[in-house]
């Protein structure tokens, strides 16, 4: 039983990683065809860094995801503080609202936002081009917010209210009490919410595809249009580099967390 479980787990991991291995191998291929390995080369990487247009698209994706996740994190954290103190009835209504973009299929979210922007832009404001950088940013903030809220709210529920009360008794204003006490307790939730929001934004294709205009295109939307033309092998090189980057980020995050857990347990043991 245990052994079959282990074998199955290994097989599933192979299944999950085979397509990525194919892409990584293709990034070192001299030929253009993903199905046929002709020889080893690094020239796709050189080409990637010479391709201004492609790097600009990557830059666009980074701008949107950094801005949207940052704004959603600040906005969402502030909102969580408010939601936390609402009456249970109001709070559950607010959480239902928060869950709408989470349960709605991405395609419905994308379609509904694009219809809203086009409706307001062309029918009410008379603009000819109603899908812009700003509408894309609004869309990303909107689908990022629930990730922040749903990560911060449980942390707020765990905080010890008497600590905040103590800070207030000792003369802190509400703002001071937040920055000196509460934020330290909910920081893990804020960070994981921000990271989730960032990765969701960076990789989002479906919602961006419907909301994006012609003047500001992100990388996934461009990759989608590539697939109608033949795919350029330098894309595989970019995939490989992003894979390494995310891997390094995730491993270091995990090590950091393990290290801080260990520090906490030894500190507790000393007491």
Partner 1 sequence: MKKNNALLLSTPYLLWMVAFTLIPLGVVAYYALTDPATGAFTLNNLKSLNLYWGVLWQSILYSLVSSLVCLVLGYPVAYYIAHRGRVAQKMLYMLVMLPMCMSFLLRTLAWVGLLQDTGIINNLLAALGLPRLHLIRTPGAVILGMVYNYLPYMILPLYATIVKIDPRLIQAAEDLGCNSLQVFSKVVLPLSVPGILSGTTMVFVPAVSTFYISQKLGGTDTVLIGDVIERQFKQGNNPNLGAALSLVLMILVFVCTGIMNRFGADEEGGVIA
User: Which of 55, 156, 231, 241 lies at the binding interface for partner 1 (CB under 8 A)?
Assistant: 231
Binding-site string for partner 1 from residue 38 to residue 57, where x marks contact by CB under 8 A and - marks none:
--------------------
- H-helix segments, 104-182: 106-118, 133-158, 161-169, 174-177
Residue in 127, 114, 134 with CA at minimum distance from that of residue 215: 134
CB of 42 to partner 1, least distance (A): 20
**Per rule CB under 8 A, is residue 86 in the interface with partner 1?**
yes
Q: Which of 48, 58, 68, 83 binds partner 1 (CB under 8 A)?
A: 83
Tokens of 225: 């249009």
Query: CA 212 to CA 131: how far, in whole Å?
Result: 6
Query: Which residues from 207-226 bind partner 1, rule CB under 8 A?
Result: 210, 220, 223-224
Give the residue, chosen from 58, 136, 235, 237, that forms a contact with partner 1 under the rule CB under 8 A: 235
The only residue of 102, 166, 187, 248 in contact with partner 1, by rule CB under 8 A: 102
Q: Give the dihedral sign, CA 172/175/179/184.
A: positive
Pick the stretch among 47-55, 124-132, 150-158, 159-167 that binds partner 1 (CB under 8 A).
Answer: 150-158
Cβ-proximal residues to 143 (8 Å cutoff; 6+ apart), any chain: 101, 109, 200, 204, 207
**Is residue 85 part of the contact set for partner 1 (CB under 8 A)?**
yes
Using rule CB under 8 A, residue 183 touches partner 1: no
Find the helix packing angle between 133-158 and 88-103, rounded to 10°.
130
């Amino acid at each position: 039983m245990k052994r079959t479980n282990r074998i199955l787990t290994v097989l599933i991991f192979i299944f999950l990683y085979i397509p990525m291995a194919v892409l990584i191998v293709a990034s070192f291929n001299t030929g253009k065809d993903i199905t046929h390995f002709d020889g080893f080369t690094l020239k796709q990487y050189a080409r990637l860094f010479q391709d201004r247009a492609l790097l600009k698209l990557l830059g666009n994706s980074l701008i949107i995801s950094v801005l949207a996740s940052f704004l959603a994190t600040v906005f969402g954290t502030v909102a969580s503080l408010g939601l936390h103190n609402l009456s249970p009835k109001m709070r559950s209504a607010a959480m239902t609202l928060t869950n709408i973009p989470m349960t709605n299929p991405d395609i419905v979210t994308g379609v509904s936002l694009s219809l809203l922007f086009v409706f307001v832009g062309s029918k009410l404001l008379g603009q000819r081009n109603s899908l812009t950088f700003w509408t894309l940013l609004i869309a990303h903030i909107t689908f990022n917010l629930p990730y922040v809220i749903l990560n911060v709210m449980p942390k707020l529920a765990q905080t010890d209210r008497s600590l905040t009360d103590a800070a207030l008794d000792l003369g802190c204003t509400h703002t001071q009490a937040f920055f000196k006490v509460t934020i330290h307790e909910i920081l893990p939730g804020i960070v994981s919410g921000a990271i989730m929001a960032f990765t969701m934004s960076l990789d989002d294709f479906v919602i961006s595809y419907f909301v994006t205009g012609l003047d500001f295109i992100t990388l996934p939307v461009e990759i989608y249009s590539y697939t109608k033309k033949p795919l350029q092998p330098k894309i595989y090189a970019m995939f490989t580099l992003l894979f390494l980057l995310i891997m390094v980020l995730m491993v270091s995050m995990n090590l950091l967390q393990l290290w801080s857990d260990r520090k906490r347990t030894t500190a507790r043991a000393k007491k």
